A = this chain, B = another copy of it.
Amino acid sequence: MSKGLKIVTIGGGSSYTPELIEGFIKYHEELPVSEIWLVDIEAGKEKLEIVGDLARRMIEKAGVNIEVHLTLDRKKALKNADYVTTQLRVGQLAARALDEKIPLKHGVIGQETNGPGGLFKAFRTIPVILDIAREMEEVCPDAWLINFTNPAGMVTEAVLRHSNITKIIGLCNVPIGMERGVADLMGVEPSRVRIDFAGLNHMVYGLDVFVDGESVKDQIIKLITDPAKAVTMKNIHAMGWEPEFLKALNLFPCPYHNYYYKTGDVLAQELKDAENGETRAEVVQRLEAELFELYKDKDLAIKPPQLEERGGAYYSDAAVRLIRSMHTDKCDIQAVNTINQGSIEGIPYESAIETSCVITKDGPKPINVGKLPVAVRGLIQQIKSFERVAIEAAVTGNYDTALLALTINPLVPSDRVAKLILDEMLEAHKDYLPQFFEEKELQDNLS
């Protein structure tokens, strides 16, 4: 292995890429990357070139020896890859805007990874990721696929169930964000914080929270009832919690739990935001435009600090730290999405979970969780039921299965409303959902 590592980043024209490059520069000594291939599609070519140029300037300035390749030929890029990262967005931010707005018209939360929006992001994304997985089987079967495309939990499970790729890890910045949030609240360095995570992607709980190995969970549970101290994400309004509820829950919820434990209040806030042209897609579209303006600056050779506003903070940092720990068999603890295999009781053996793992060269090894607290077991299992039916619909393009998935989603009020939303969103996203429309035509021919 005298040659360095080959990294392939699909969706390489993303605004996140500079953070990824920064990471590979920072850890270059331990993680000897020699090639980074940034891959995108025709529609993303311009962005790819802007980002690619910035990446090259960053690497040059840092004085490390990494080749940057830009290409629209995905399969060529994948050949003999060591690690493949995916950060793609099928339909781009315009599709996200629809995911956020259509449900609101029917009185239902519109969100990128939850409810109807999450379902349709899964419908658009899963077939593309499965295509990538099949190409990997062919040209780089030993590579690890590090997915941070949302909905990361469903995407991971889809790959586990519908491809021969077993070396897949789903990555999210929620756990790292929660650890940094605790560090801020406790006034300590992030490296002194450790959280025992367990759950699903965007449905993960801190079972316990430690500073230097001593539990500080009780303190955190008191602090975060105050909206001013909520640990949250750029894309989620801080709301605080009823103190008695959180005390009885006795867990550190993740920011996305607002959607389930504060459904009514989140919906009201979303409706207000939408009225003001402040849906998350709209905000991000503006931010992205600004970022790409910055990236074009030939004098810029570092990751610009404005990127942190983008919302995906630490995503790429998390990815690089993960790859580094794997490459060096570091055996440190990181929270990722991986196959359950009995780690969390009551979730199917073959399903993806998000949980604290020991990161080895042989992949992430979940630290056993066992039984979750009774009060959260049901919600997590319900979301997993939804995810599994949703994946089935995404893969088969079956209309009835899609309606079933949407109806059993806890954010959707009835089979009737589910059908209204489903029909409207299928039509709106038609171009990115061939699996639903090809089948329909087939059915029409048959009948």
**Chain B residues near A388 (CB, 8 Å)?**
374
Contact present for B381 and A378 (CB under 8 Å): yes
A241-260 at interface with B (beta carbon < 8 Å)? 241-242, 244-245, 247-249
Range for the number of chain A residues in contact with chain B: 35 or more
Contact present for A374 and B389 (CB under 8 Å): yes
Contact present for B367 and A244 (CB under 8 Å): no
Give A36 Cβ to nearest chain B Cβ, in Å. 23
Q: Complex: how many Å from CA A383 to CA B379?
A: 9
Interface status of A292 (Cβ within 8 A of chain B):
no
Contact present for A367 and B370 (CB under 8 Å): no
Give A71 Cβ to nearest chain B Cβ, in Å. 31
Q: Complex: how many Å from CA A362 to CA B213?
A: 7
Give the segment of A124-132, A281-289, A297-305, A416-424 that binds chain B: A416-424
- Interface centre among A215, A242, A341, A371, by most chain B C-beta atoms within 10 angstroms, is A242
Interface status of A437 (Cβ within 8 A of chain B):
no
Contact present for B263 and A414 (CB under 8 Å): yes
Contact present for B407 and A410 (CB under 8 Å): no
Contact present for B378 and A384 (CB under 8 Å): yes
**Chain B residues near A50 (CB, 8 Å)?**
none
Contact present for A413 and B331 (CB under 8 Å): no
CB-contact partner of A382 in B210, B247, B378, B401, under 8 A: B378
Closest to A265 in B: B414
Given A382-B379, A410-B410, decide whether A265 and B367 contact each other with a Cβ distance below 8 A.
no
Contact present for A378 and B368 (CB under 8 Å): no
CB-contact partner of A264 in B360, B384, B417, B419, under 8 A: B417
**Chain B residues near A10 (CB, 8 Å)?**
none
A73-115 at interface with B (beta carbon < 8 Å)? 107
Contact present for B403 and A244 (CB under 8 Å): yes
A179-212 at interface with B (beta carbon < 8 Å)? 194, 196, 208, 210, 212
- Interface centre among A345, A358, A369, A414, by most chain B C-beta atoms within 10 angstroms, is A414
Q: Complex: how many Å from CA A262 to CA B419?
A: 12
Interface status of A4 (Cβ within 8 A of chain B):
no
Give A228 Cβ to nearest chain B Cβ, in Å. 17
Closest to A208 in B: B362
Interface status of A116 (Cβ within 8 A of chain B):
no
**Chain B residues near A376 (CB, 8 Å)?**
385, 408
Q: Complex: how many Å from CA A230 to CA B418?
A: 20
Interface status of A47 (Cβ within 8 A of chain B):
no
**Chain B residues near A440 (CB, 8 Å)?**
none
A107-150 at interface with B (beta carbon < 8 Å)? 107
Q: List 22 A-B contacts (CB under 8 A).
A: A194-B329, A194-B331, A210-B361, A213-B361, A213-B362, A241-B415, A242-B416, A242-B419, A244-B400, A245-B415, A248-B401, A249-B404, A261-B415, A262-B415, A264-B413, A264-B416, A264-B417, A265-B416, A341-B370, A358-B367, A381-B382, A382-B382
Residues in A lying within 8 Å of B, measured CB to CB? 107, 194, 196, 208, 210, 212-215, 241-242, 244-245, 247-249, 261-265, 328-329, 331-333, 341-343, 345-346, 349, 358, 360-362, 365-371, 374-379, 381-386, 388-389, 398-401, 403-405, 407-408, 410, 413-419
